[in-house]
A and B are shown apart, each in its own frame.
Chain A
Amino acid sequence: MAEKNKITVPDELKSTVAVTDIQEVFDGNLIEKAYNWGRRNSVWPMFFGLACCAIEMISTAASRFDLSRFGMEVMRPSPRQSDLLIISGTVTKKMLPAIVRLYNQMPEPKYVIAMGACASGGGPFKEGYNVIAGIDKYLPVDVYVPGCPPTPQALLFGLMKLQEKIDNQKISETSWYDKENAGDPIPIPVLGPDIMDPKDFDKIRKQAKG
């Protein structure tokens, strides 16, 4: 395409408008671009609040901050229909098995945002006997949003970072179309005398002997 005919897209529309040309078709990038463009603008978060951060998450979805500008307003209560799990608050030991189950039920490609201090690392409640110090000990986290609670602006920024991540993913490299390397479900922790991760069973047995 001649230089003078090149379409310029204003900055504020770059996230929603995909411009391509014939060269990209030859290079084989077009499918990737369309695929990621579609996914980044229709991330469906799970309608799932845990604690204080959930209130800010709802505020983000409400009219002032308006999540639908990012194509994310379709919050699904069912994990089967959602792409994004926002861990919005303190994860407790009693709640953890349910959260891991929810994550396992989500179809690929799926993403996790740890919203707020508690979900990222335990936050002010880290020392509590019923608190998980960060959901990343059990689930893979894509974006951490700091704050206690993060303001809606911070959450929006976190979501934009997630969009950036989606933009840079390549179909050939992602694991979810790969038959051999598709991830196993995460083992569901058990509520024993304390929370027990099946991965730790050996260690628990060892500590009892020694």
Chain B
Amino acid sequence: MNEIAVVKSELEIRFPDAVRKDDREGFQGYIVEKESLVEVATALRDDFGYDYLTSVTGVDYIEEDILEAVYHFYRSTGGKELVLHVQTPRNNPVIPSLYKIFHGVDFQEREAWDLIGIKFEGHPDLRRILLWEGFNGHPLQKDWKEAFYVEEKKPFDNRWPEGKIQQIEELNKFGKNVRYPENFHDPESWKPEHEDLLYAGLLDLAEKTGSGLETDHVVINMGPQHPSTHGVFRMAVVVDGETITALKPVMGYLHRNHEKIGERNTYIQNIPYTDRLDYISSLSNNFGYAMAVEKLLGYTNEIPERAEYLRVIMAELTRISNHLWAIGFLLNDLGAYFTPSLYAIQERELILDIFEEVTGARMMNNYHRFGGVAKDILPDAMKKIENLVLDRLPRKVDELDKYLTKSELLQSRTEGVGVLTPEDAINMCAVGPVLRASGVPYDVRRADPYSIYDRFDFDVAVRYHGDTYDRYLIRMDEIHQSLRILQQALKDIPEGPILLRNPYNIKAPKGEAYGRVEGPKGELGFYIVSDGTSNPYRYHVRSPSFINLTGLEKMCVGQKVADVVVILGSIDIILGEVDR
């Protein structure tokens, strides 16, 4: 009996009434009674070592009339997942919050409340997160229909009635993408119920952390249009003089409804959408999604050898280009206006050239397929990759290293700024470079190896101070490690087929699957539930940027206003992935 099986049977023995095996077809893990969820989760963390709760997903099973929350637990020392399902009736969907045990569920529970409508009892700040207060309904419930609703599932039959294209605008009363509740008649005096909760909560926090002196707190809104928020991110900051006393991230300004659209799409139609999640590392997103669907389909061990190598080569090139970009723009945030990032972008452009040659697009690569990849790397492009990996990139990265790493200005602005302790990092489900810079050597490529990463010789980069400087250094380290992997992959890549079988029109068997990869920003997971048709029943993205932001407040409180920008830059968020 392996280790996980031992834990599972012990769990059943310890909580005989509360925990039962999930025996639905294709499902794994346990169904936990909601009354004892907190107790079971505490035991998992303290006694079984599952101290790393990475993903919380809400699912609407409308036919069974239940809403379900799915929890994916891991050990921070590595290993496979343990999945808990908690069910609640649809007419009164309440589940106890795990906020007190795992701070990392903060945003994820708010997201499940916002989009699915599960109330998490005991969550201190259960507001909408991606949409705004007052929005009508919970859009990921299966009976909620968008304004441009056509049919449940693609491909739509009505797109060509009698050979004539029908514009979706013609079907809408207002001719645009809006729909109002039927009894809504007073737009002028509209005032949503909880609109001022954000500021009320913020000032409340500021009071608690105040020094006791009667001082005025000022609320500053940074963003959504701000040159250093890396997109349309907004932070509501309370300052006491120059010092930050409270901070709340506000997001959703780029919420593009990936999940609702993804559940209408067929499986293959979702691949180009994953490109647009973390839009500067598209190939990693493709990878994660393809892996999750392959798990459903049972392809995992049949992927052709060459395809696996191509996937790894492209993923590692993506990581390098992402980290170059992140470093360049971190320096931008520090005030080294555009000079370092111009050097970084120069190298990134060369990597993009390779992507363009291989996949046909600079950014939106749409490259992975279920069971392989779409196109082979031709000898010409291979030559370019070799030149880049063996010669140019090591030189150029050393050059960046030489001018930046020991720079006194960089050090004095970043050392000791925005510290995240390892305990906090694990508790807040931080992933990727943010987690590893805090001294936790957790890398999905090693902790739960996927694809062919177990064949390569590389180190998990880890740094121990948890400050902004270490988060900068760790990206440098990871570029070096990626170059190592690439050098081995380029040497060993075999000839052969690149695709298992035709990936179009697949029907996935019933069940659930969670595929995760170590993207450049951290663990990127896709949770998919299939009902046996050619469209996913539930499609959820566990995005690293989004959940890494949980730690932002902790890192920023007590720092100066000018450092907030730098700390945010060091987390390296991409808004397409934060808001999805």
Residues of A within 8 A of B (CB): 47-52, 54-56, 58-59, 62-64, 77, 89-90, 92, 94-95, 98, 102, 122, 124-133, 137, 148-149, 151, 190-196, 200-201, 203-205, 207-209
Q: A125 to B256, Cβ gap below 8 A?
A: yes
Q: How far is the CA of A200 from the CA of B147 in the complex (A)?
A: 16
Interface on chain B toward A: helix, strand, loop, or mixed SS? loop
Q: B260 to A64, Cβ gap below 8 A?
A: no
Q: A194 to B148, Cβ gap below 8 A?
A: no
Whether A64 contacts B349 in the complex (CB less than 8 A), given A94-B132, A204-B187, comes out as yes
In chain B, positions 343-378 with a C-beta closer than 8 Å to chain A are: 345-346, 349, 362-364
A50 proximity list for chain B (CB < 8 A) = 231-232, 254
Name the contact of A191 in the complex, choosing from B134, B169, B254, B255 (C-beta under 8 A): B134
Kindly report which residue of chain B lies nearest to residue A128, judged by CB atoms.
Answer: B257
State which of B52-60, B157-165, B219-227, B379-387 sits at the interface with chain A.
B219-227
B168 proximity list for chain A (CB < 8 A) = 126-127
Q: How far is the CA of A195 from the CA of B272 in the complex (A)?
A: 27
Of B131, B150, B252, B256, chain A has the most CB atoms within 10 Å of the CB of B256
B224 proximity list for chain A (CB < 8 A) = 95, 98
Q: How far in angstroms is the closest Cβ of chain A from B10?
A: 44
Top-6 shortest CB links A-B: A128-B257, A208-B185, A193-B136, A52-B279, A77-B227, A129-B146
B273 proximity list for chain A (CB < 8 A) = 124
Whether A58 contacts B345 in the complex (CB less than 8 A), given A52-B363, A95-B232, A137-B176, comes out as yes
A95 proximity list for chain B (CB < 8 A) = 224, 232, 253-254
Q: A94 to B131, Cβ gap below 8 A?
A: yes
Residues of B within 8 A of A (CB): 130-132, 134-136, 139, 146-150, 168-169, 173-174, 176-188, 190, 192, 224-227, 231-232, 252-257, 260-261, 264, 272-273, 276, 279-280, 341-342, 345-346, 349, 362-364, 575-576, 579
Q: B272 to A59, Cβ gap below 8 A?
A: no
Q: A131 to B257, Cβ gap below 8 A?
A: yes
Q: B177 to A125, Cβ gap below 8 A?
A: no
Kindly report which residue of chain B lies nearest to residue A63, judged by CB atoms.
Answer: B342
* 20 A–B contacts from the bound complex (CB under 8 Å): A47-B227, A52-B279, A55-B280, A58-B345, A64-B349, A92-B254, A94-B131, A95-B224, A127-B146, A128-B146, A130-B130, A132-B177, A133-B148, A191-B135, A194-B136, A200-B178, A201-B188, A204-B187, A208-B183, A208-B185
Q: How far is the CA of A50 from the CA of B230 in the complex (A)?
A: 9
Q: How far is the CA of A195 from the CA of B179 in the complex (A)?
A: 9
Q: B180 to A63, Cβ gap below 8 A?
A: no
Q: How far is the CA of A78 from the CA of B183 in the complex (A)?
A: 41
Q: A193 to B134, Cβ gap below 8 A?
A: yes
Q: How far in angstroms is the closest Cβ of chain A from B469?
A: 25
Q: B147 to A130, Cβ gap below 8 A?
A: no
Q: B178 to A190, Cβ gap below 8 A?
A: no
Name the contact of A194 in the complex, choosing from B149, B178, B186, B363 (C-beta under 8 A): B178
Q: How far in angstroms is the closest Cβ of chain B from A145?
A: 15
Q: How far is the CA of A205 from the CA of B187 in the complex (A)?
A: 8
Q: How far in angstroms is the closest Cβ of chain A from B185?
A: 3
Q: Count the A-B residue pairs with Cβ separation under 8 angstroms: how many? A: 166
Of B132, B176, B181, B187, chain A has the most CB atoms within 10 Å of the CB of B187
Whether A77 contacts B187 in the complex (CB less than 8 A), given A63-B342, A127-B261, comes out as no
Name the contact of A49 in the complex, choosing from B179, B231, B264, B346 (C-beta under 8 A): B231
Q: How far is the CA of A208 from the CA of B186 in the complex (A)?
A: 9
A59 proximity list for chain B (CB < 8 A) = 345, 349
Of A49, A137, A190, chain B has the most CB atoms within 10 Å of the CB of A49
A48 proximity list for chain B (CB < 8 A) = 225
B177 proximity list for chain A (CB < 8 A) = 122, 126, 128-129, 131-133
Whether A201 contacts B187 in the complex (CB less than 8 A), given A63-B342, A64-B349, comes out as yes
Q: How far is the CA of A90 from the CA of B295 in the complex (A)?
A: 32
Q: How far in angstroms is the closest Cβ of chain B from A152?
A: 9
Q: A194 to B180, Cβ gap below 8 A?
A: yes
Kindly report which residue of chain B lies nearest to residue A202, judged by CB atoms.
Answer: B187
Q: How far in angstroms is the closest Cβ of chain A from B117?
A: 14
Q: B179 to A149, Cβ gap below 8 A?
A: no
Q: A148 to B364, Cβ gap below 8 A?
A: yes
Kindly report which residue of chain A lies nearest to residue B226, judged by CB atoms.
Answer: A77
A200 proximity list for chain B (CB < 8 A) = 174, 178
Q: How far is the CA of A125 from the CA of B576 in the complex (A)?
A: 12
Name the contact of A192 in the complex, choosing from B147, B184, B254, B260 (C-beta under 8 A): B184
Q: B184 to A125, Cβ gap below 8 A?
A: no
Kindly report which residue of chain B lies nearest to residue A61, judged by CB atoms.
Answer: B338
A77 proximity list for chain B (CB < 8 A) = 226-227
A204 proximity list for chain B (CB < 8 A) = 180, 184-185, 187
B256 proximity list for chain A (CB < 8 A) = 51, 90, 92, 125, 128, 130-131
Name the contact of B131 in the complex, choosing from A54, A56, A130, A151 (C-beta under 8 A): A130
